[in-house]
Chains A and B, each alone.
Chain A
Amino acid sequence: MPENSQPQETDKKPVSRISEDWLAVIIATLLILLSTIGILGENGLNIHF
């Protein structure tokens, strides 16, 4: 039987102390904070799309 056909726990996330969901919350919060206080934006690092 090939190695990868063993039943296994398949929902392992990359090695990390916090879950991907909380990491997303932290990064998004930081980005919103930096945008709101003006570090990201016209008077700081101007990011546009």
Chain B
Amino acid sequence: MSQNKVNEKESRLNRTACVLLGLAVVLALSIVAWWLAKQVYNLELPFGIPGKVLEFPLWAAIVGLVGNAIFKSVGAYEAIQPGVRTELFLKIGLILLGARINLSLLVTAAGGAIIQGVIMITCVFLFSWWLGGKFGLDDKLRAVMSTALSVCGVSAAIAAAGAVLAKKEQVTYVTGLVIVVALPLMVIAPLLAGAMDMAEPVAGAWFGGNIDTTAAVVGAGTIYGEKAQEVASIVKNTQNALMGLVAFLLTLYFVAREKGAEGKRPSPRIIWDRFPKFVLGFILASILFTIGWIDGGKGTPIAALKNWAFTFAFVGMGLELSVNEFKRMGWQPVVVFLLVTLFNTLLALGVAWVIFTQLLPITV
């Protein structure tokens, strides 16, 4: 056997070991988060805050952040990173969530979500693009940031970066910003919704349109209530499904403006390539639930597995946070990101309220 093949085999074994180690760490931290959430649930906290408002997504994210700091400080982070598959855990959780969503709710909410998604993506993308230009941000950074803010956070940033060939540090920077802003929003948004006495479907639609990353959307929905979690997930999944179209339009734009380049036009196939296929699993699970073949309702094993998958994802979100690029890029992108987030929050509030209370109210 040649030396190259031996090295390749060793590196594959190392990678497998790292994946297993990372998965074990995520599982252990998730159990800690679950245990903490249970301990606090029945307590009365200072200022009369009931312990049950501190739901498991918050504990999981905190435990993940603590784990992140510990593993980085002891230099073991690289060894666990391959097993921290936040997006995979989240997608599994979302498909399992589909197993308790009635198809009529899915259709009603998705109708409003498509209208909301088109309005939000167009307005937030264009505002972010314009504001980024005013602050003198690089076009590729503007494209990645605008897509992350308008569509679906981390996965949108990665897809947009692929479409415009952004630099690696630009993606790391934007995904870091997405998580730093999404974590507090995951807690603040449900509190604000509660203060405004917002109905759960409207709150869910607001979280889905406003919070950038899908994990935090699900987290905010979970904190606010079951129906909020369902609607938030449907709205966010609908927005995620539009990702392919945005990636296609971005590629078209960047190819068209590359002067002197050979200008190979992108194929519309990118729309399907970028389409999040797990959404099909989510819809199929909802259909199977509606016809009574499966049941993911409260207290069922599917519901428990869904909550564990989400806990893994929230722990992963904390573990994956990286702020190394922040100092290098300066303050302008942070200001743009925060201003667009504020714009996004207010616009999503208005749009969700109009669509889900006036035009297409959810009564299911």
Chain A residues proximal to chain B, CB less than 8 Å: 4-11, 14-15, 19-25, 27-29, 31-32, 35-36, 40-41, 46-49
Contacts and interface: CB of A to CB of B under 8 A. Distances in A.
Contacts of B293: 36
B304 A47 contact: yes
Contact of B301 (A8, A19, A47): A47
A8 B167 contact: yes
Contact of A49 (B15, B159, B304): B304
Interface in B223-277: 276-277
A4 B169 CA distance: 7
Interface string B295-308: 01000111111011
Contacts of B91: 20-21, 24-25, 28
Contacts of B281: 24-25, 28-29
Contacts of A27: 88, 92
B278 A49 contact: no
Nearest to B90: A24
B82 interface: yes
B161 interface: yes
A35 B95 CA distance: 14
A21 B214 CA distance: 14
A24 B140 CA distance: 30
Nearest to A12: B162
Interface string B137-173: 0001000000000000000001101100111110100
A10 B95 contact: no
B34 interface: yes
Interface in B43-73: none
Contacts of B300: 35, 41
A47 B307 CA distance: 11
5 contacts: A25-B278, A25-B280, A28-B92, A32-B294, A49-B303
